[in-house]
């Protein structure tokens, strides 16, 4: 049993998991031969599926040449080619790319580039980075300061500079129609009010996940929101930073989720699906007009040792080539549409499924006590944890978080790799229904007691 195996490792909790043996496509096997369907692509990472032979070949070829070349000593071709590819996929003018090894590093890089740009253009009074509540931007202290998820941030409050927050546009919780442009305007105008309250001359940037990640559970912004926040940022000289660490890389059906609204940020960050779990990799893409003044002013004072190493970049390049060659963004749209419809179907069968949302294969459903008021389930049930465990026992991996800023509410991300087929959707739904039935059966005695 995993609980009996001795380990020197520790992670967030004492919970133990089986030892991984191998992974292929959408499946993972443990050392005892149990097969799991990876219904969350790890943590929304393994976009092209596990052990893709073409990606492995590209990595093998690169490994035989060189695995590491320090960026202050050598430039390398995989990094050059990958940067060119990112620039090609980015909105016009976003021609400059900076590599890192993960999402938090990418977010730190964006904050620091924004600040050094302000210094370079003589606007040293700008330092505040506004973000949303809830949100998740990473676990390093800089990224955490702009994260809106209290259980993760509170212990470190005294060590961080508090950054202003505006509410995430969760129309479904506020009883507003997400299709109505008035709703988008309502939430976007909260950003303008916050900029004015803080003093526009002090605000450096606004960081936003175009489609929400774990903290909001695949929240799709209401109509007009993305265009309006772009407008507001431009009006006050505030840099718009898109955190596409989770939503970027193709999973929503477009390489960047913001393409769904045709808006361009000033700076954008990606990671997770960018190298799809084959190597630790992330990137920041920025407008030329932001990078040039920083370089002219003496250089970008920032960097990480492993950044832009040839092996990680060869993996990232092979992942994008695989997505393009196999039409995986189109597949994510098609299979995502199917999976979303099937998840919506759960609402007819289970009154506690209160909302289904997302785009492509970045999807989530939320459990509530009362769909009319969206009252959450009692916090002590810890449904966000329990349902994931039941699904795990049914060999389906899904991902969850507390919905309401970390203390209550339960949403579940269902995000299989972009290679998923209709049969995989059937398999996911079968395991999910079995798991929901078990969860409901567990709830029944609790409900009877409290009646
Ligand atoms: C939107 C978003 N930003 C940043 C991060 C941080 O990425 P990492 O865990 O790779 O540091 C995450 C991770 O979940 C994320 O979802």
Q: Is the CB of 104 under 6 A from ligand 1?
A: yes
CB 243, CB 200: distance < 8 Å: no
CB 377, CB 350: distance < 8 Å: no
pLDDT tier for residue 447 given thresholds of 50, 70 and 90: low
Q: Which of 376, 100, 122 is nearest to 245 (CA)?
A: 100
Average pLDDT rounded to a whole number, residues 138-145:
97
Q: How far is CA 63 from the centre of its chain?
A: 29
DSSP letters, 328-388, are: HHHHHHHHHHHHHHHHHHHHHH-TTEEEEEEETTEEEEEE-SBTTTTBPPPGGG-HHHHHH
State how far the Cα of 349 lies from the Cα of 410, in Å rounded to an integer. 18
Atom of ligand 1 nearest to the CA of 143: 4
Is 433's pLDDT higher than 70? yes
CB 113, CB 284: distance < 8 Å: yes
- 302 CA from centroid of ligand 1 (Å): 19
Average pLDDT rounded to a whole number, residues 299-304:
96
Residue-wise pLDDT tens digits, 190-233: 999 999 999 999 999 999 999 999 999 999 999 999 999 999 99
State how far the Cα of 143 lies from the Cα of 137, in Å rounded to an integer. 5
Is 3's pLDDT higher than 60? no
Q: Is the CB of 134 under 6 A from ligand 1?
A: no
Residue-wise pLDDT tens digits, 320-379: 999 999 999 999 999 999 999 999 999 999 999 999 999 999 999 999 999 999 999 999
- 44 CA from centroid of ligand 1 (Å): 10
Q: Which of 280, 270, 275 is nearest to 321 (CA)?
A: 275
Q: What is the pLDDT of residue 448?
A: 54
Say which DSSP state 125 is in: T
Mean pLDDT of the chain: 96
Residue-wise pLDDT tens digits, 36-60: 999 999 999 999 999 999 999 999 9
Dihedral angle of Cα 159, 162, 166, 169, to the nearest 10 degrees: -10
CB 321, CB 135: distance < 8 Å: no
Q: What are the start-end ranges of the H helices in 51-145?
A: 53-65, 77-89, 103-120, 141-145
Atom of ligand 1 nearest to the CA of 214: 16
Q: Choose the residue to mutate in 104, 251, 282 for probing ligand 1, maximizing ligand atoms within 8 Å of C-beta.
A: 104
State how far the Cα of 367 lies from the Cα of 374, in Å rounded to an integer. 9
- 213 CA from centroid of ligand 1 (Å): 8
Q: Is the CB of 398 under 6 A from ligand 1?
A: no
Three-class secondary structure assignment of 169-198: CCHHHHCCCCCCHHHHHHHHHHHHHHHHHH
Q: What is the pLDDT of residue 451?
A: 44
Atom of ligand 1 nearest to the CA of 246: 16
Average pLDDT rounded to a whole number, residues 112-134:
98
User: In sequence order, what are the residues at sequence separation of 6 or more whose Cβ sits closer than 8 angstroms to the Cβ of residue 303?
Assistant: 71
Average pLDDT rounded to a whole number, residues 426-442:
97
Taking every pair of Cα atoms in the chain, the longest distance, rounded to a whole number of angstroms, is 70
Atom of ligand 1 nearest to the CA of 209: 1
Residue-wise pLDDT tens digits, 245-281: 999 999 999 999 999 999 999 999 999 999 999 999 9
pLDDT tier for residue 26 given thresholds of 50, 70 and 90: very high
Q: First and final CA of the chain: distance in angstroms?
A: 38
Q: Percentage of the chain with pLDDT > 90?
A: 92
State how far the Cα of 168 lies from the Cα of 208, in Å rounded to an integer. 9
Phi, psi of 208 (to 5 degrees): -145, 140
Is 244's pLDDT higher than 60? yes
State how far the Cα of 307 lies from the Cα of 280, in Å rounded to an integer. 9
Q: Is the CB of 210 under 6 A from ligand 1?
A: no
- Does the pTM exceed 0.95? yes
Q: Is the CB of 271 under 6 A from ligand 1?
A: yes
Is 84's pLDDT higher than 90? yes
Q: Which of 394, 252, 276 is nearest to 335 (CA)?
A: 252
Q: What is the pLDDT of residue 186?
A: 98
Taking each continuous run of H as one helix and of E as one strand, the counts in the chain are: 14, 15
């Amino acid at each position: 049993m995993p609980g009996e195996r001795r380990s020197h490792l520790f992670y967030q909790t004492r919970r133990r998991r089986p030892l991984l043996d191998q992974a292929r496509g959408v499946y993972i096997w443990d050392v005892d031969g149990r097969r799991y369907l990876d219904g969350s692509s790890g943590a929304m990472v393994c976009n092209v599926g596990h052990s893709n032979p073409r990606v492995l070949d590209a990595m093998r070829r690169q490994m035989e040449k060189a695995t590491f070349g320090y960026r202050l000593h050598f430039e390398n071709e995989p990094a050059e080619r990958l940067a060119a590819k990112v620039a090609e996929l980015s909105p016009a003018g976003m021609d400059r790319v900076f590599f890192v090894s993960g999402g938090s590093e990418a977010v730190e890089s964006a904050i620091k580039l924004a600040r050094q740009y302000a210094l370079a253009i003589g606007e040293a009074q700008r330092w505040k980075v506004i973000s949303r509540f809830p949100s998740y931007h990473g676990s390093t202290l800089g990224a955490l300061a702009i994260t809106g998820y209290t259980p993760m941030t509170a212990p470190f409050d005294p060590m961080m500079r508090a950054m202003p927050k505006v509410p995430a546009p969760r129309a479904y919780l506020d009883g507003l129609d997400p299709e109505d442009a008035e709703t988008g305007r309502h939430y976007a105008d909260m950003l303008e009010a916050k900029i004015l309250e803080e003093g526009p001359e002090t605000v450096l940037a606004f960081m936003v996940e175009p489609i929400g990640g774990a903290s909001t559970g695949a929240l799709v912004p209401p109509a007009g929101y993305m265009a309006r926040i772009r407008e507001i940022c431009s009006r006050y000289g505030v840099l718009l930073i898109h955190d596409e660490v989770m939503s970027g890389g193709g999973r929503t059906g477009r390489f960047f989720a913001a393409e769904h609204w045709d808006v361009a940020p000033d700076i954008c960050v990606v990671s997770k699906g960018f190298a799809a779990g084959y190597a630790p990799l992330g990137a920041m893409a920025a407008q030329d007009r932001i990078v040039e003044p920083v370089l002219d002013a003496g250089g970008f004072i920032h960097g990480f040792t492993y950044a832009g190493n040839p092996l990680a970049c060869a993996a990232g390049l092979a992942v994008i080539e695989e997505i393009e060659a196999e039409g995986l963004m189109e597949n994510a749209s098609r299979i995502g549409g199917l999976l979303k419809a099937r998840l919506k179907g759960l609402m007819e069968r289970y009154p506690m499924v209160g909302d289904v949302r997302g785009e492509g294969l970045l999807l989530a459903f939320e459990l509530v006590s009362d769909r009319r008021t969206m009252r959450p389930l009692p916090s002590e049930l810890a449904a966000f944890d329990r349902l994931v465990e039941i699904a795990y026992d049914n060999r389906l991996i899904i991902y969850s978080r507390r919905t309401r800023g970390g203390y209550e509410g339960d949403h579940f991300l269902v995000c299989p790799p972009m290679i998923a087929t209709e049969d995989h959707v059937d398999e996911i739904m079968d395991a999910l229904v079995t798991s929901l039935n078990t969860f409901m059966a567990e709830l029944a005695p609790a409900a009877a007691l409290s009646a």
